[in-house]
Amino acid sequence: MISRDRDAAGRARNDRPRDRLGRPLPPGSVGVARIPDDLELPPQQTLDFAQQLLDEGLAFNAHEVLEAAWKNGPVAERMLWQGLAQYAVGLTHIQRGNAKGAATLLRRAAQRLGEYPANSEHYAVDTAGLIAHTESLLSALDSSGPIADDQLRTSLRVRGS
Tens digit of each residue's pLDDT, the chain (161 residues): 555 566 666 655 667 888 888 888 888 888 888 888 788 999 999 999 999 999 999 999 999 999 999 998 888 888 999 999 999 999 999 999 999 999 999 999 999 999 876 555 678 899 999 999 999 999 999 998 889 998 998 899 986 55
- Residues paired with 24 in a beta bridge: 18
State how far the Cα of 147 lies from the Cα of 137, in Å rounded to an integer: 8
Q: Which CATH superfamily is domain 43-152 in?
A: TTHA0068-like (1.10.3450.10)
Neighbours of 69 (CB within 10 A): 26
**Contact between 149 and 57 (Cβ < 8 Å):** yes
**Contact between 94 and 147 (Cβ < 8 Å):** yes
Give the pTM: 0.86
Domain ranges of the chain: 43-152
